[in-house]
Amino acid sequence: MATRDLYEILGVDRRATQEEIKQAYRRLARETHPDVRPNDPTATERFKEINEAYSVLSDPAKRSQYDRFGQIGADRGPFGGSSPFDDIFDMFFGARPRTAPAEPAGPERGADLRYDLEITLEDVAWGVERRITVPRLETCPACFGTGAERGSRPETCPACRGTGEARVVQRTVFGTMTQIGPCGQCGGTGTYIANPCRQCRGAGRSEVQREVVVKVPAGVEDGMSLRLTGEGEAGAHGGGRGDLYVVIRVAPHPVFTRRGRDLIGELPISMVQAALGDEVQFAGLEGTETVRVPPGTQPGDTLTVHGRGLPDLRGGRGNLYLNARVQVPKRLTAEQRALLEALAEQLREPGSRAAKEGAGEVRRGSGARSPRRGRRPILDKMRGLLQ
């Protein structure tokens, strides 16, 4: 009986109906019949494998037994193999000799691999294509996966004579007990490589460094995994390749932080720009951006630039939110100081002369100047001096 999964041989799901199994068998039988492929040396073995799989899955009783135990035929009691009684008999009185050689090891799928790829926030905004180098096991090019040196091939294991089993016999009060396990020399395969391949040392696979191209889509998120089918390790005994999973790591950005598809940052502005308003340019992820600062902007106010965040994998784009950071000059010239003092007088700021005089100035009557008059000219003059 074939060692591969029977459903996989016929290319059907485990929940397939009997009609679907029949249709799959007929299609494969027509395609793989030795008469149809006279030049294919594997056609006969493949055709036999398909027939064996169909003989089990087309029989409801055998299919049920296979689904429960994963095996049908010589190794199961109901179909001609050992029964529970046979196992008890073997335990106490010694196992009966088995002359059939072990079946060759079936194909094994290669292992999946993981690679952590660090990208920048700019890469998230635009998408990026990277070339990475991945160490992985590949089928040995010298022996083509057989493990044997060219001109030779695996031989019958001399230790177990091809059975793949090692037996240890012990005498107990109940009789002779035989303990059976995989052969230590061939690992249970029944074959032995007398002349191993010098390049892979008999393993059939060797580690190489492979360059793989990874296309990272715009809008990808930190921790997201990209699957590259068939870029994992090569399988053993002709098995399929595994997959490569590239895990995305987004590096911290010196200016912006991410919140979903939105970006958060700071916008430094002068106190004159905050008071009078302005259009301010700043460096965004995708080039120079312009944001309007409304008059009277307070420190910490949030300014929104719509549609200038990050793209979304599902479509659309986020916003850019800038927190106003009002910068106060640390050193002033005499002219700048005089202007600020004049503005403080106009605004009646605490500590100014006008604030100290307070109500006394108001009592002097109509000759007193309105405290609000003249603020704009002072601020306009300060714009040139303080920026």
Distances (CA, A) of 200 to 139, 144, 189, 205: 9, 10, 19, 6
CB burial of residue 312 (10 Å; 0-12, 13-18, 19+):
middle
In this prediction, residues 116-140 reach a mean pLDDT of: 93
C-alpha distance across the termini of the chain, in Å: 86
Q: What amino acid is encoded at 123 in this protein?
A: D
- Residue 191: count of CB within 10 angstroms of its CB: 20
pLDDT at 83 over 70: no
Return the percentage of the chain with pLDDT > 70, whole number: 78
- Residue 349: count of CB within 10 angstroms of its CB: 13
* Dihedral angle, C-alpha 67, 69, 75, 78, nearest 10 °: -70
Predicted model pTM: 0.56
302-348, pLDDT tens digit by residue? 999 999 999 999 889 999 999 999 988 888 888 888 888 887 777 77
- Distance (Å, rounded) from C-alpha 322 to C-alpha 273? 15
Q: Which pLDDT band, with edges at 50, 70 and 90, does 238 fall under?
A: confident
Q: What amino acid is encoded at 178 in this protein?
A: T
Residues in contact with 381: Cβ distance below 8 Å, sequence separation at least 6, in sequence order: 339
Q: Which pLDDT band, with edges at 50, 70 and 90, does 76 fall under?
A: very low
Distances (CA, A) of 130 to 10, 123, 127, 211, 263: 39, 10, 10, 10, 24
Q: What are phi and psi of 273, to 5 degrees?
A: -65, -35
For residue 182, the cross-strand partners are: 165
- Distance (Å, rounded) from C-alpha 378 to C-alpha 338? 10
